[in-house]
Structures are given as C-alpha cells and as structure tokens.
Structure 1
C-alpha cells in the first residue's frame, strides 16, 4: 500500500486576508512567524497561491543545488518580468545559460583583481565627500554609498561613467517599486490600470531604454580594442539577433538587471554594516585598528584584500543578519520531496536566507550581532547551506567577489579615516525589496579621526 504524502503544517485558509496584509506590509514578519509557529517546513495558502516555505540547510541544498534543474524562478521573479524583462535574474533555460556564458568571464578573479584600483578611487572620493561634510550637519550616507556602488558598476562592468545620466537612480527606484508591486499583488493588476506606480514605471522604463541606447551608440562609435567588459560582450552577443527590437530588449533587460541588482545589494551590505557597527563601538574600533595595521596611510590594493580578516568577519555577520538576497523563490517543475514533505508539481517554493540565517539550531543567540562567530575556528561544524547570502547552486550570484571586494575596501577606508555617528532618534526599518534595504536611509554626522 502506498504511503500518503506528508504535507507541511501551516495556517488555515481563513487566515488569507491577514497573510495578504503581511505580504504587503511586513514580509519579514510573515516568514519569521511562519517558521516560529510551524517549524522548518510550512505550507501557506494565500489566495490562488500555495507557498511551501522551507527553512533548513538540507532543504536549501535540495532545492537550490541537488535538484536545481527541477526548480525554476518562482513568485516575485515571474511577476517582476514586466519590470525587469528577461535579464539574468528572471530568465530560464537556454536564454539564461546563454546570458550566464556571456557575462561570467567578466567576473573571473583575474579581471576582478584588475578592478581594485577603480573601487579604491571611488571609495577615496566618498571619504573626501563625507569628510567635507563634517561639522554636525547630517548627511545620508546610504544615498552616498548607493551612488558609489552604481558608479563602480558603471566603470567596472561597462567601462562607462553613469554619473552623466542623472535620472538613472530615480528610474531604477521606479522599476524596483513596480517589481515589488507586481509581487505583492501577485501580478493580478493589469498593466492598463492607471496606478501611480505603473505610470512612474512606464516613464522609468523609457528612460532606461534611452540610456542603454546612448551607451550602446557611444560604444559602437568608439569601440575599445580587445574590450572585455559587459557592454562590449552584450553588443557582440545581441548582434546575433535578426530582429533589432529583440536585440535592443535583450540589451536593456540584461543591463538593467545587472546594474539594479548589483549596486543595490552591495549598497545595502555597506549600509547595514555602518548601522550595526554604530551600535557596537568596539567593533568600529577594531575595524579602524585593522585598517591602520594593514594600510597605514596608503590606499589599498588587491593583494591587501586577504589581510582584512576581521573586516571579512564583520561583513559576513552583517550579511547573516541582513542578507542582501533575503528571499529565493522557485516553482517546482515536477513533483519532489523536500525534507520528507511532498511538493506537488507547479508549487511555489520559498527559501528565506533571512530566517535560515537565524535558525537557532545552527546559530547561537541568532539575533545578536557577533562577528566572532565567523572566526574560522568556529565555523568548521556549521552546515554549508546554513549560510547562503548570495544564494547557492547554479544561480549563485555571479558578482559576489566584486561586491565583497568593494564592501571590504569601502569599509576599511571609511573606518580608517572617519567616525560616522547615526543621528539620534533616527529609526531604521528593514525594507525587503529586491535586496534587503535600510528603510528611511541612514543620516549620520561625520568627524575625522
């Protein structure tokens, strides 16, 4: 006799309205409470969707790595296609593999090492701008850092100065707002509805298309000999398309996805680092001491990266508490079994690094900020998939090394030269968008050390 399928526990159907409100207003609480009330495997019915939320390293390994071919991008990514198109974040199958093959070489270690000087130059400009603001007048350091990360991506991936396009930041914001709106409403609001976000999105989409066309026209008119940046590789790759409209759409989608996802995640990590370290002054002093020991008065170079051991521990702990990729959604192609529970074909499956990184079985005092937990001597017995700030499996974040190098050098140079104090009374709220942002920004006052 065939044994019945095991179904994960979860809230009753009558809880749908409350769950919809939480999906819109407090997605992190929805995930945290589901795990706390029902355990590592939870089945949640929200309107027409049935979500399977898994919160154990073995579950993450099964879905993201061991049986990754059975799981395509899921809820949120599907609805976000209208905003992000078919870029690396949302595409599937052969298109995704082609995009990955096109872009992967740009992120090889040798080429990333060659970009260290660009990052250091932009970080030095940031330190100078913040240093000029000392004297008690608050400055939103998150806004400054976001500008830095976008500028670094422009120079390292496109060999272009994105500072010439003043509207690009606002356009990215509108595109991200639309992506999250589509996720919250599960794609059920038609594009023709005259909603303010949708009007702003259409304007932003047209602006980003215009910027991409200008970047491509400039590069085509002034090709770089033996250039191996993303823009040059995409121009070559999309030249194979017979329909110029398809080529243009691919170029736009891939560049928007890379720039939006790339600069947002790194800016969030740096922002959360500044916020958490401000609450733990002893960590800030240790960061300062390491930066002085490693660098003295000089600027860092790529060989210095491995010397920032404590800085790496701090960044790892920041990304544990506030992972840049806070949720990973998938849709099961065929039926599967995860952690002993049946997952029907077509089901929406969620792996949430935010809650996985706070699992009490794998993290002592999981809500406490403790960089020392990433001392190499304390990490030997931790399951590999208990910590996945950049995802896992075939879709592991392609730009993680560039982002970590950027965050390391920026933090080292900031803490060596400046003291940044959060403005008293300012409240920071985690804002789970495409990355886990600091809602409300981060106003600080600046002093030279």
Structure 2
C-alpha cells in the first residue's frame, strides 16, 4: 500500500486539529478522538497498518489511544532531529520501555550512564579490523547452510525462517561469543516467547502483573528461566576455559560486571546484556535474509543477476573479506530489502522536556514514533516506493535523497553497533545460496509481515530447494 502524503490526492480531509488561535502551539493533525478504539485494535493486531494510517496525515500526526498520545513524524529532517540532533531529549519510548520487563536493561533498552557503559564495553568487538577477521567464520557458516539446503533438493519444503535463524545463531556464537549456540535447541522458542511478552507489555502498557497466570506469561516465565540457564552455561564455560582474559563479548561482560559493588546487580546485568545480544544479534539478520529469499523468488530477474555475480566473483570458492566490494549487486539487493522490510520497523522515543519537532509542539513525556517502515516508503523521497528495485541503490546513480530518508540501522548515538557484521553476513549468505541453489515459495502460501521487536515473517516461510 503506497503511503499518501498530506498534500497528495486522497489524503484525509478531516482531523482532530481545529483552527489555531493566535499564539497557540501548533498541534499535528490526526484521527479524531472517537477513533481511539480502532487505533487500539490496530496497535494490537496491525501495527504496520497503524503506521501507514498515521502517514496518510502527512509528515506529522497525533494518535490518541486511551491514556497514550503518540506523536508520529515521517520526514527525514524530523528523524534527524529526534534521533541525532536533539537525541539527549529523547529516551527509549513506548514498546521498548515496556519490553524492559521482558528482556531487561540490556543495550537495547537501557539509558543514560548504564547505556554508555554498555556501549563502551561492547564497541571494540565491532571494530572494522576485528570484523574483517570474522569473514572466514561467516563464510564457513554460510557453506554449512548451503550444504543443509542442498540435502533437501527435491524433497519436502524447508522453513527458510528457521534455517536463517539457525544460521545467524551459529554466526553470532562463533564471531562474538566464542561459543557453539547449536547446543541450545530451545533458544529459538525461548525468544519467540520473549518477543510475544514484549508485545503484550506494549499493548497493556505493562499494567498486567507478571505473576498473573496467563498462558502467554507462563510461557514467558519458562523461557526466561531457560535463557538464564543458557547465559549461566556460557559464563561458566568461559570461566572454565579462559577465565575472564578473552576478548569476546562474554569475557568482556565477565570483567565489566565484576566491577559492580553488588554481585547480584552484576549477575543481573550479565543476564540482561547477554539476553539482549542473543536476541538482537540473530533476529534482525535472520529476518532480513528471510525477506530477501522471499523477494528474489518473486523477482526472477533479480535472482539471475545475483547468480551471475556470485559465479563471476566467487567461482567455486568461499568468499573472503575483500569480496565485499566486488559483490556489488548483492549488497544493493540487501539494501533494497531493508528499505521495504527494515528489521527495526519502529524507533520509539519519549520526550524528556517540551520540544518542537517540524514546527509542532511535543509536550514533555510524550511518546514520539519514527518508523523506518513508512519513512522508507515516503513518496516524496522514493520513486514507486512499493516496488522492489535494487538498482535504486546503485552507488553510481545519484539520488538527491536526504541521509535520513534511509535508516535501516537506526541513527544518531544509538546507531546499530553490529551493522557491518550484519551486512557482511547477509551479503555472503545471499551470494553463496544464489550461486548454488534456487529457492521457491510453496504455491499458495501467504506471506504476512509480523512487526514484533523486529519485522519478521509470521509463521515461517516454507520454500522448496533445487539446484541453480
């Protein structure tokens, strides 16, 4: 569904905004107050639809849902102001605040000095020199994936979402944790429960006590215990093998959390940070890869170009770090996939003090939403925004687009620390699979986007496999 700007034909003509008296603060347009029940239904069951609805009011909209008023901004300049220029006034907002009860105070949800401490601790692990040294590991994991898929040629469909999850967990374990996460078969199901609980916290505004024995909450509590078991095992294994002298994330966390005056606080920090890394470190890449194979199946001409490039660049060998700039079209495909289906589909913030964004007043305490999903489909900055067209990311083609029209890894101080690792992983995997295999969606299977903590495919993606 193409987004309609405020001045475009077909845009809503009525909103809750009334004529502004002289000297009054400017308020964004939006649905009338009596639309609150339908907006709440969208919040529960159609969050992308709610973002799309907001975008029909223009580059700014106000959505009133019961006790919450959401301020939606959808212009690159507004995104830049909230996420970068005045980021100190905007802490993590609705959704992530509530998700804290589910995933704790890791790098994704923490604020202030705790966040800065966590970022300083983990940043060296993602330096370019270190990431370049992980290329061989990623290529090996991608080769293992290709071998698994090749074994299913001509057989029953494979669930591509599950395969990409196993792949990304394998890469995460070997590159950042110095651990074999394949030993923990329950980890994927545990994170399903965590994401379900995080969304439940969002729609209930964390008003339901955790002890209430709802099936969803019971499942989450079991998952939380299982994740704690996994974290404890990773830490104990690292201490037994290398102590705290390693340079991987687990070793760094052990050293960092030992500095806490209260050992209980240190243990809790360890759990929160590792659970967050396990979730964010595999979920976003797995989602991007799943959407990629779905889209290139729908566009055979894209697969043909991917296949030709991979054969020319790689031949029959594994990719190396220097191949990244040679796999040019593959990188363009990844970028276009993340435009249409950004793994982080919403960046919620909460205003700490009164402010003005795009000429509109934002009161202190307000929830502010920047949605890469709608920003990446803004018709003012993207031609045919719903069309899958990797050529729009050709580095030789001038675009004239503002930098903040495309923010798949977020922006500002909280820009995703793992963006280079994720891009290398996605590029290598797509090139190696397209070189050797062709995946086809099972006829009649309906693919539905599910906006959780990342934008994933609901219920998996069954595809058949055949040789290229």
Aligned twin of 2:26: 6
* Structure 1 contact 325–435 (Cα < 8 Å) conserved: yes
Secondary structure of the 2:29 match is coil
How far 1:80 sits from its partner (Å)? 0.6
Matched, 1:101 2:120: yes
Aligned twin of 2:42: 22
How far 1:2 sits from its partner (Å)? 8.0
Aligned twin of 2:323: 304
How far 1:170 sits from its partner (Å)? 1.1
Aligned twin of 1:142: 161
* Structure 2 contact 238–244 (Cα < 8 Å) conserved: no
When normalised by structure 2's length, the TM-score is 0.94
After TM superposition, the structure 1 stretch with the greater mean CA deviation from structure 2, 237-246 or 276-285, is: 237-246
Partners in 2 of 1:265 and 1:308 — Cα distance?
21
Partners in 1 of 2:324 and 2:376 — Cα distance?
25
How far 1:169 sits from its partner (Å)? 1.4
Query: What does 1:23-422 align with in structure 2 at a 5 Å threshold?
Result: 23-36=43-56, 38-223=57-242, 227-422=246-441
* Structure 2 contact 137–175 (Cα < 8 Å) conserved: yes
How far 1:163 sits from its partner (Å)? 1.0
How far 1:227 sits from its partner (Å)? 2.1
Secondary structure of the 1:413 match is helix
Secondary structure of the 2:71 match is strand
How far 1:226 sits from its partner (Å)? 5.3
Partners in 2 of 1:250 and 1:226 — Cα distance?
19
Secondary structure of the 1:87 match is coil
Cα deviation per residue 1:14-58 (whole Å; 9 max; x = unaligned)? 11111110001110011101211x111001111111100000000
Partners in 2 of 1:330 and 1:353 — Cα distance?
13
Cα deviation per residue 1:135-175 (whole Å; 9 max; x = unaligned)? 14211111111111011101111100011112111111111
Secondary structure of the 1:91 match is coil
How far 1:327 sits from its partner (Å)? 0.1
How far 1:190 sits from its partner (Å)? 1.8
* Structure 2 contact 244–251 (Cα < 8 Å) conserved: no
Partners in 2 of 1:242 and 1:419 — Cα distance?
55
How far 1:3 sits from its partner (Å)? 2.4
Partners in 2 of 1:226 and 1:123 — Cα distance?
29
Secondary structure of the 2:463 match is strand
Partners in 2 of 1:186 and 1:14 — Cα distance?
20
After TM superposition, the structure 1 stretch with the greater mean CA deviation from structure 2, 215-224 or 122-131, is: 215-224
Count of paired positions = 448
Partners in 1 of 2:316 and 2:337 — Cα distance?
27
How far 1:243 sits from its partner (Å)? 2.0
Partners in 1 of 2:340 and 2:449 — Cα distance?
11
When normalised by structure 1's length, the TM-score is 0.98
Cα deviation per residue 1:97-151 (whole Å; 9 max; x = unaligned)? 0000000000000011111111111110110000000114211111111111011
Partners in 1 of 2:309 and 2:36 — Cα distance?
51
Partners in 1 of 2:244 and 2:274 — Cα distance?
21
Secondary structure of the 1:377 match is coil
Partners in 2 of 1:303 and 1:5 — Cα distance?
54
* Structure 1 contact 86–254 (Cα < 8 Å) conserved: yes
How far 1:379 sits from its partner (Å)? 4.1
Query: What does 1:430-445 align with in structure 2 at a 5 Å threshold?
Result: 430-445=449-464
Partners in 1 of 2:441 and 2:22 — Cα distance?
61
Report the CA distance shift for 1:210/1:114 in structure 2 as closer, same or farther (over 3 A). Answer: same
Backbone CA RMSD of aligned residues? 1.2
How far 1:432 sits from its partner (Å)? 0.3
* Structure 1 contact 74–331 (Cα < 8 Å) conserved: yes
Partners in 1 of 2:433 and 2:52 — Cα distance?
33
Cα deviation per residue 1:196-225 (whole Å; 9 max; x = unaligned)? 111111111111111111111111111169
Partners in 2 of 1:380 and 1:234 — Cα distance?
42
Partners in 2 of 1:226 and 1:219 — Cα distance?
9
* Structure 1 contact 427–440 (Cα < 8 Å) conserved: no
